[in-house]
Amino acid sequence: MRLLKWLSLGAAVWIIYWALAAWGLRSGLEAWFTEQQRQGWQAEYAALDTSGFPLRHATLIRQPLLADPGTGAAWSADWVEFDSPALWPGAQRLGFPATPQHFSFYDQSRRLVAREMQAQMQLAPGLALTLEHLELTAGPWQLLQEADLLWQAEDLNLVMRRYDQSDRYLLQAAAQGFAPGGVFRRMGQLDEALPARFDTLELQADVAFDTAWDRRAIELRRPQPRLIDLQLADAQWGEMRFRATGALQVDEQGRLSGELALQVKNWRSILDVAERSSLLPPSSRMAVERVLNLFARDSGQGDKLDTRLRIQDGQFWIGPLPVGTAPRLVLR
């Protein structure tokens, strides 16, 4: 009888704790949306439901819509679910619908359709909710512009892991069966002989940001990269292959500087794709090809390049010769 009383008391305490924690999570989300509206955002949802008793807290937000007028970025979906163990809300799983998610940046709109898309997050204790670990995975996915397919792949795996109490993160990304859609092929006038899918597409880098990723990354400003240790960038599409490693610095205006070791196979075809896709201005094509041909011929490899690319003063350089304008890296 005494054991039954203790069990009953424990159950009652747990029910009260679960209910209070669920109320706190719900109230926190409602307050967050209200605060974003006060800051001038468009922050809306249709309904907010809590479930998961007795071991978890699952909060389903229906018809969420977030739009930041400061950056012009917006996102909406049919729903998003936050799911965490009842004892520790810092271990969150975010679930996303198989129906389209809508993204926009000013006048550019995209739709993402992904199956089994979810994100596992570990957050540090404290009000800042500093990101310690993030892993985003998905099954087959497609990125569309209106009715046109831009990109698709069989899966997606993105990892972001913080190094000990610092602003440095390990970043990893890979996608199996990555394929450009018909609109990209038409825009780039790509050779139909090219395979439908990439053989390899992966990235690994250590990145030091100007501040840690926490709740302010959504509410105020995105942390900006300052140092990039690129351990591997690897892409192979048919006979074309691109590999790069190196170290880069990024200043406050997003200008890059540093040096990359490049290994490129079938580089003329890569220039064709870059030019047809408007990534390489036609006016620069001849000069770039002349420089690369010089280095390829000196190495005796013809269609292969094994060289170093220097980035300085807003320009790409191979040896003493400029070969193009470097992009700026700014996270909006």
Average of pLDDT values for 79-92? Answer: 92
Contacts 24+ apart (CB under 8 A), 53-58: 53/18, 53/22, 54/14, 54/15, 54/18, 54/86, 55/85, 55/86, 56/83, 56/84, 56/85, 56/86, 57/18, 57/21, 57/22, 57/25, 57/82, 57/83, 57/84, 57/85, 57/86, 57/89, 58/82, 58/83
Tell me: the pLDDT tens digits for 260-294?
998 988 888 877 777 776 667 777 777 777 777 77
CA distance 180 to 162: 31
Phi and psi for 9 in degrees, rounded to 5?
Answer: -65, -45
How is residue 9 written in tokens? 């008391």
Q: What is the pTM of this model?
A: 0.87
| Residue 215 CA: distances (Å) to CA of 196, 219, 222, 317 | 39, 6, 10, 39
Burial of 288 (0-12, 13-18, 19+ CB in 10 A): buried
- Going from N- to C-terminal start, the domains of the chain cover 1-88, 89-325
Tell me: the pLDDT tens digits for 153-172?
999 999 999 998 889 999 99
